[in-house]
Amino acid sequence: MRKRILKKIAQISYHRYRLVLSIALVLTIVSLLLSFRLELKTDVIHLLPPESKAARVFCRAISSFGTFDYLIVLIRTADDADKTAPACRSLGAGRDDADVKRLEDFSDSFASELRKSDLIEDIDYRVSAELKRFFQKELLKHPYLHLSSSDIKSLKNKLSDEAIHQQLKENRRLLASPISFATKNFIQKDPFNLRSTFKDYIFQQKGPYNLDLSRGYYLSSDQRALLMIIKPKRPPTDIKFDKELLKTIKEAEEKISKEGVRVGYTGGYIMALDDEKMIKRDIILTISLTFFLILALFFITFRRKETFFFVSLPLLMGLAWTVGIASLYPRHLNMITFGFFPILIGLGVDYAIHIYNRYLEEKGKGKDILSSLEITLSQTGEGILTGALTTAVAFYSLTFTKFRGLSELGFLSGTGILACLLSMFFILPAILSWQSRRSPAKTEKIKPLSSFGLEKVSRFLLRSPKITLIISTLVTLILGLSALGITFDSDFRSLRPKETPAFRIQDEMGEKFGSPSDPLMIIASGENKEEVLKTNERITQRIEELKKEGSIEHYQSPVSLLSSKKRVRENIKELRGFDFERIIATFKEALLKNGFRIEAYQNYLDEMRDLKARLKGPISIPNSGKGLEKMTKRYLIRDEEGFKVLALAYPKKRVLSPKEADEFGERIKGNEKGIEVTGVGIIASELKRLITKDFILATVLAFSGVFIMLLIHFRRIKVVILAMAPLICGIIWMLGIMRLIGLRMNFVNIVVTPLILGIGIDDGIHIIHRYLEKKEEGVEDAIHHTGRAVVMTSLTTMVGFGSLVFAQYRGLATMGGLALLGVGLCLITSLTILPALLKITENTNRHK
């Protein structure tokens, strides 16, 4: 049945070649027009299934509180080398006031220029007026509205007689030292150094960076760099917006540029642009490199100029049809699926090699064009069909996984295989028919395919097939044990290139200000405001416990800005127990003892007496956050479901395992309902959990699909086992060598194993198919005739995967390298283990 259908295709392509080529051309044009709808999506959230709870929680958090991606500006002095003595820096002295002033003036002018843009929501680079007002007129005057129980204890210690005398003595020493004006101003307004108790609240609002705020700006500890954090109005996934944003910022920089100041950019928006450029560059490079290298290999092997035309046209048409289908579903490419182009080129050309090789063989025997095409498609074409369908089934089996990177790659690769198969079955014979009519003389100039020295290799190996099999078994066992030690790298940063400007700036920023991990977002929800504020206070207590244990490095919580009424009442009760008369008397005594004038601190004394008076009478507790709306808007929202309050926690470890992510969630939530924990770290751990599970499922499904297809084709379990033996050994060798060379699995290259199950089986299918077709001529004849085509097809597939090694995107490069290794090893096992097995089987049958 299959032979008759394939023979009919050969006849149609020969007699109706114009119609075949015309239909193919129309389909190609339509596909190319559809391809303009195809999008690139580099956000990892798109790799999770829509029904994923982790994805839903993350998207809901972003929808409620907005993205926590920023555009980071690193402003540095031209000569970034610290000359200030550490002792002086510890006292607040700048290394060079002129340089620091230049940084401050530039940042002021830059921010002023950027605020004119309607693309930017907020710019943060200095202690805001709101934060100063909060510290001077709110936190110091109404401490009961903002302190925790542990802060009250710390405050009580600072206001003991001994502590007051020590602090005033220290104030005198500091004022006699070369410190900044801002520090002197703080000492006068806060002589008890209560800011050291409250500083955590101030630094919490500034994020997880090591900042020197002595001058009121976000300076590095050496005062040679200034950090500016820009909050754009749209997320970084909007590439068009990102381009317009960067253009606006660059224009502002050029407009106010100053000598002695260097500016660098990093953050989610810059990295999104870098990713887009990198992906486009990698797609163009890998496709071009693969296409021309394969054509060159094809030309060198067949030594005919017409080769370029014979192969390139059906190959390009098959690719175009695949892209057209991709524009309809899934309508985008992600960080994994954009690598399927060179893979398809490498696989698609394999069919052309087998068809063209058999066509030349039949022509060399003196057969006419039609007979050569009929024999080629009905005999070799049957093996090609089985191999293609087996590969497609293996790929399509991946669509049953929930990891979208794997499922979409499976769909596109399976569809691409079938598209390339159809183009080679119809278009290549049609081109050969057209060419034979156009230049009939040229069709007789047949140059056989190079044998690649397979006769010598096969003779050597088949002399002692049992020894070949024993050695292969030992290698498989050793590498199988090695494969057990493979580890998984779940850090998304390792997938990107290290040498982009954004990453270099990020490294510099890390040296100056620290390099925090991605934050966990903790959201408390409730029907009323008081309820969620109480929940947030309990969450903050748990986060502080984790910080003391060392698992949390930093956190941001609105607990100092938004207090529950219950906590405020407890604070008032504690503060009423303070002996303010003693504190005031000791303060005056310490002022005089250290040479200070009491009159200079009269305002401070009056504020203390005013606080004492207010604590004696009834206190009206205002609505939490009143007057602080600008500072609290990012933390507290109200929607149709009620109130939501946000806290951020920065784990010490950059990458969390699924177990660690679960433990964080459980510790922070306690046993409470209405609390959700999400973030990039949670998404990464969920992806790792999902892909590890789906990797096993995909491998089993691909293996089962290949096994069933071979069983349907060969109808003998013994032959199926023989065909699959080199594939299984090749994969084991690949994984074992992967471990030995220190290559780790990641979110991209983990797809290689199920891919190799679909790709690596082709070699065994073609060799066994030829062996069974002409069994009387023996294993050597099968290796001699089909083996050379198998070598050629494997080389083209290796070129397709190998081109990915040159990709800047490191995840894709590791995928290409691993697949290159896998295809190469499957070729080796198909030319060693399979012939040995066939020879042993052949010898056994002879002696029966």
Q: Which architecture does CATH list for 454-484+716-848?
A: Up-down Bundle (1.20)
Helix axes 752-759, 680-714, angle to 10 degrees: 10
- Please give the backbone phi and psi of residue 21, each rounded to the nearest 5 degrees, phi first: -70, -35
pLDDT at residue 203 tops 60: no
Per-residue pLDDT at 150: 75
Give the DSSP letter string of 626-688: TT-HHHHTTTEEEETTEEEEEEEEEESSSS--HHHHHHHHHHHHTT-SSEEEEEHHHHHHHHH
Per-residue pLDDT at 415: 95
pLDDT at residue 92 tops 60: no
Per-residue pLDDT at 33: 95
Q: Using a pLDDT cut of 70, give the percent of the chain over it.
A: 91
What's the pLDDT tens digit per position in 240-292?
999 999 999 999 999 998 788 999 999 889 988 888 888 888 888 888 888 88
179 vs 340: CA distance, rounded Å: 61
Q: Is residue 345 within 8 Å of residue 319, measured between CB atoms?
A: yes
248 vs 253: CA distance, rounded Å: 9
What's the pLDDT tens digit per position in 416-467?
999 999 999 999 999 999 988 876 655 445 455 555 667 677 777 777 889 9
pTM of the model: 0.77
Segments of the chain assigned to CATH 1.20.1640.10: 1-37+304-449, 454-484+716-848
Cα–Cα distances (Å) from 196 to 201, 203, 397, 699, in that order, read 10, 11, 61, 58
Confidence of residue 631 (pLDDT cuts 50, 70, 90): confident
Q: Is residue 523 within 8 Å of residue 61, measured between CB atoms?
A: yes
From 578, 605, 560, 585, select the one nearest 191 (Cα to Cα): 605
What three-state secondary structure class fits 225? strand
pLDDT at residue 168 tops 80: yes
682 vs 59: CA distance, rounded Å: 12
From 704, 730, 829, select the one nearest 390 (Cα to Cα): 704
- Over residues 826-836, mean pLDDT: 91
> Which comes out higher in pLDDT, residue 337 or 295?
337
State the number of CA atoms in the 13 A half-sphere of 123 facing the CB.
19
Per-residue pLDDT at 494: 82
Q: What rounded mean pLDDT belongs to the chain?
A: 85
CATH number of 1-37+304-449: 1.20.1640.10
> Which comes out higher in pLDDT, residue 173 or 624?
173
Q: Is residue 3 within 8 Å of residue 10, measured between CB atoms?
A: no
Least confident of 400-404, 497-501, 539-543, 825-829: 497-501
CB count, 10 Å around CB of 365? Answer: 11
Q: Is residue 815 within 8 Å of residue 339, measured between CB atoms?
A: yes
DSSP single-letter state for residue 44: G
Per-residue pLDDT at 97: 76
Per-residue pLDDT at 725: 94
Confidence of residue 360 (pLDDT cuts 50, 70, 90): confident
Q: Is residue 267 within 8 Å of residue 71, measured between CB atoms?
A: yes
- Over residues 795-805, mean pLDDT: 87
What three-state secondary structure class fits 65? helix
Per-residue pLDDT at 579: 92
What's the pLDDT tens digit per position in 666-680?
999 988 989 999 988
What's the pLDDT tens digit per position in 120-131?
999 999 887 777
What's the pLDDT tens digit per position in 102-157?
999 999 999 999 999 999 999 999 887 777 777 666 776 777 777 777 778 888 88
Highest mean pLDDT among 206-220, 427-441, 702-716: 702-716
What's the pLDDT tens digit per position in 634-665?
888 988 889 999 999 999 887 788 888 888 88
Per-residue pLDDT at 87: 40
CB count, 10 Å around CB of 3? Answer: 13
- Over residues 185-213, mean pLDDT: 70
Give the DSSP letter string of 599-616: GGGHHHHHHHHHHHHHHH
b/e map of 452-488 (b: 16 or more CB within 10 Å)?
bebeebbeebbeebeebbeebeebbeebeebbeeeee
Cα–Cα distances (Å) from 485 to 480, 731, 742, 826, in that order, read 10, 15, 10, 21
Confidence of residue 633 (pLDDT cuts 50, 70, 90): confident
Least confident of 26-35, 358-367, 574-583: 358-367
| Amino acid letter for position 118 | D
Least confident of 24-28, 450-454, 468-472, 550-554: 450-454
- Over residues 230-248, mean pLDDT: 91
From 707, 798, 699, 797, select the one nearest 745 (Cα to Cα): 699
